[in-house]
């Protein structure tokens, strides 16, 4: 597609999604493709719990796992709160429309 052609945000998103699907469709080893990213995420939690590197590897790993679980629990909590807000807003709008 020529660059001079201007795409809407929706069209850019669709083009990116197509490219991502095509790329994953030709990936033979999905785990290997994402290994560096997974390792970087784990390293982040290890640095968070032991920035000075003084803990034993076993203790650092345990603490990092707890930090990782806390991080994902926080995300789940925020997601649940956002869903509740959207549901409440939807009921409020629906109730107001019928009056």
What is the reported pLDDT for 94? Answer: 78
Query: Could you tell me which of 43, 72, 73, 74 has the C-alpha nearest to residue 60?
Result: 43
CA 47 from chain centre, in angstroms, equals 20
What is the reported pLDDT for 4? Answer: 52
**Burial zone of 42 (CB within 10 Å; 0-12 exposed, 13-18 middle, 19+ buried):** middle
Q: What share of the chain is helix, strand, coil (3-state, %, to 5)?
A: 80, 0, 20
What is the reported pLDDT for 2? Answer: 55
Q: Where are the domains of the chain?
A: 9-97
Provide φ and ψ at 56, rounded to 5°: -70, 155
Q: Which stretches of the chain drop beneath a pLDDT of 50?
A: 99
């Amino acid at each position: 597609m020529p660059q001079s052609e201007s795409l809407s945000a929706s069209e850019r998103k669709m083009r990116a999604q197509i490219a991502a699907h095509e790329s994953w469709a030709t990936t033979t080893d999905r785990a290997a493709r994402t290994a560096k990213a997974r390792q970087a995420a784990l390293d982040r939690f290890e640095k968070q719990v032991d920035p000075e590197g003084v803990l034993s590897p076993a203790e650092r790993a345990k603490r990092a796992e707890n930090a990782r679980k806390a991080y994902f629990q926080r995300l789940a909590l925020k997601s649940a709160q956002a869903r509740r807000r959207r549901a409440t807003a939807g009921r409020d709008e629906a109730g107001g429309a019928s009056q």
